[in-house]
């Protein structure tokens, strides 16, 4: 129904005790018009011409006005108490943008607002509308969904940049994507139709040979897996590596030290490999290729976390290597820290940085039951 009739209704103020003194404006399914109604005054909805060239994208109520905005960021402004007010196109001053950002009704509105353009994105920080979880998506589609935790809702977006790719991490509000050629792309899903994409270099075969526990080769631009049988014999012909298997063999996760700037530079990335005590390191705008770093850990890396301007690399026995963020002129080196001591009975551990604190996430399992 929402896609065909009223997609969204915005109120000027909550209705009073008698259900009156409330002005409502509705965004239609796909139209340059909006619907308007004054509770207790109008007997029916009235269609208003927004004078916008393209379909309305969303409606915001701010400072006693309805702001009607289309997909090209053109704006019509209506007074909340004047049904016949003539809309005028305008650009919004910075203080008004910030005020709108503070009054967005939902995470969906905040995400749409940030997608409009750079000034709008800057007025609503990504962290202000709560964490989003990227749900599994079909690589044959350009549609992705996010679970918005505070509202317990699923938000869907069209992102052409995800087609034929698999996600290999999300960091600082950006998605890390990998294709069959093991080419990596950083994509901001809430940066609008002309989203800035940062291309990361291909993974060279010499790096894959250095860390992969599997025998792989590259033939005519396609990666081939050569499995070994129980007698140590290698399948020379091998098989093409499927997209869904890329993370287990190549880069399992990419973590950023900070989001890329407007030019796509000043970004430092670290990658957790499929099964290795090493990590891969790359500085956008500085390095021409990925560099393998020795973590000095005894067992394979299990997690990488960006924490207080540092990379924390943690293995499956909870040993830690720390890398400082001062990497502009030199390749970082690892410094070992004491192992973490999680609560007894905490299994399937992962690690999360939130509001400057490091959290251990897992499931508490009791091995004994009282009789």
- Per-residue pLDDT of 82-133, as tens digits, reads 444 444 445 566 676 767 766 666 666 666 666 666 666 666 665 555 567 7
pLDDT of residue 368: 55
Which pair of structure tokens corresponds to residue 172?
């600082």
Most confident of 5-19, 210-224, 293-307: 293-307
pLDDT of residue 284: 83
Position 241 in a domain = yes
Q: Could you give the CA distance from residue 269 to residue 303 in angstroms, rounded to a whole number?
A: 14
* Last residue in a domain, options 91, 120, 147: 91
Q: Does 198 share its domain with 325?
A: yes
pLDDT of residue 2: 73
* Containing structural domain, residue 29: 6-91
Least confident of 16-20, 177-181, 243-247: 16-20
Which pair of structure tokens corresponds to residue 313?
């690399």
Q: Which residue pairs from 97-100 have beta carbons closer than 8 angstroms and sit at least 24 positions apart in sequence?
A: 97/123, 98/123, 99/62, 99/63, 100/60, 100/62, 100/67
Least confident of 7-16, 56-65, 224-233, 300-309: 224-233
Average pLDDT value for residue range 12-17: 75
Q: Does 325 share its domain with 207?
A: yes
Q: Could you give the CA distance from residue 23 to residue 40 in angstroms, rounded to a whole number?
A: 9
Q: Is-contact 226 216, C-beta < 8 A?
A: yes
Position 341 in a domain = yes
- Chain center to CA of 36: 35
Position 143 in a domain = no
Least confident of 16-20, 53-57, 126-130, 173-177: 126-130
Position 146 in a domain = no
| Position with higher pLDDT, 243 vs 356 | 243
Q: Could you give the CA distance from residue 225 to residue 218 in angstroms, rounded to a whole number?
A: 9
Q: Is-contact 71 83, C-beta < 8 A?
A: no
Indicate yes or no: pTM above 0.85. Answer: no
Q: Does 208 share its domain with 323?
A: yes
What CA dihedral angle connects 282, 123, 134 and 257, to 10 degrees? 20
* Last residue in a domain, options 59, 91, 123: 91
Whether 176 shows a pLDDT value over 80: the answer reads: yes
Task: Tell me what percent of the residues of the chain surpass a pLDDT of 70.
Answer: 70
pLDDT of residue 83: 43
Whether 365 shows a pLDDT value over 80: the answer reads: no
Strands 301-307 and 153-158: unpaired
Task: Give the C-alpha distances (Å, rounded to integers) separating 165 from 3, 136, 202, 363.
Answer: 28, 12, 14, 31
Q: Is-contact 246 204, C-beta < 8 A?
A: no
> Confidence band (pLDDT; 50, 70, 90) for 285?
confident
pLDDT of residue 87: 46
Q: Does 187 share its domain with 333?
A: yes
Whether 61 shows a pLDDT value over 60: the answer reads: yes
DSSP string covering 325-355: S--SSS----EEEPPP-PPTTEEEEEEEEET
> Confidence band (pLDDT; 50, 70, 90) for 158?
confident
Q: Does 353 share its domain with 224?
A: yes
Q: Does 206 share its domain with 334?
A: yes
pLDDT of residue 115: 63
| Position with higher pLDDT, 333 vs 177 | 177
Position 24 in a domain = yes
Total structural domains in the chain?
2
Average pLDDT across the chain, whole number = 76
pLDDT of residue 177: 92
pLDDT of residue 371: 45
> Confidence band (pLDDT; 50, 70, 90) for 49?
confident
Position 135 in a domain = no
* Last residue in a domain, options 91, 111, 146: 91
| Position with higher pLDDT, 120 vs 47 | 47
Position 108 in a domain = no
Q: Does 197 share its domain with 335?
A: yes
Q: Which residue has the tokens 């509202």?
A: 151
Position 115 in a domain = no
Phi, psi of 217 (to 5 degrees): -145, 165
Q: Does 73 share its domain with 202?
A: no
């Amino acid at each position: 129904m929402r896609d065909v009739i009223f997609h969204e209704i915005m109120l000027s103020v909550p209705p009073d005790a008698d259900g009156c003194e409330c002005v409502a404006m509705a965004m239609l399914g796909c139209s340059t018009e909006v619907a308007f109604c004054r509770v207790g005054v109008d007997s029916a909805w009235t269609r208003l011409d927004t004078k916008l060239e393209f379909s309305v994208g969303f409606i915001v109520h701010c400072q006693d006005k309805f702001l009607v905005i289309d997909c090209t960021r053109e704006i019509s402004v209506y007074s909340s108490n004047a049904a016949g007010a003539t809309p005028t196109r305008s650009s919004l001053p910075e203080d008004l943008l910030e005020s709108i950002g503070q009054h967005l009704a939902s995470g969906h509105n905040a995400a749409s607002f940030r997608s409009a353009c750079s000034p709008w994105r800057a007025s609503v920080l990504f962290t202000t509308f709560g964490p989003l979880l990227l749900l599994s998506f079909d690589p044959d589609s350009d549609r992705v969904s996010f679970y918005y935790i505070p509202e317990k809702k699923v938000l869907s977006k069209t992102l052409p940049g995800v087609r034929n790719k698999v996600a290999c991490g999300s960091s600082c509000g950006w998605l890390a994507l990998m294709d069959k050629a093991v080419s990596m792309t950083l994509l901001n899903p809430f940066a609008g139709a002309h989203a800035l994409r940062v291309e990361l270099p291909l993974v060279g075969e010499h790096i894959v040979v250095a860390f992969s526990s599997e025998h792989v080769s590259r033939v005519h631009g396609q990666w081939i897996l050569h499995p070994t049988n129980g007698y140590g014999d290698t399948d020379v012909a091998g098989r093409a590596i499927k997209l869904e298997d890329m993370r287990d063999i190549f880069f399992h996760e990419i973590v950023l030290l900070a989001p890329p700037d407007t030019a796509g530079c000043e970004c430092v990335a670290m990658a957790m490999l499929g099964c290795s005590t090493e990590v891969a390191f790359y500085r956008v705008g500085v390095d021409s290729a990925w560099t393998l770093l020795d973590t000095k850990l005894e067992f394979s890396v299990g997690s990488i976390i960006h924490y207080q301007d540092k990379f924390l690399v943690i293995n499956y026995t909870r040993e830690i290597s720390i890398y400082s963020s001062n990497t502009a002129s030199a390749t970082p080196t690892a410094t070992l820290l004491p192992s973490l001591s999680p609560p007894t009975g905490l299994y399937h551990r992962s690690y999360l940085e939130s509001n400057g604190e490091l959290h251990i996430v897992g499931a508490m399992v009791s091995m004994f039951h009282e009789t």
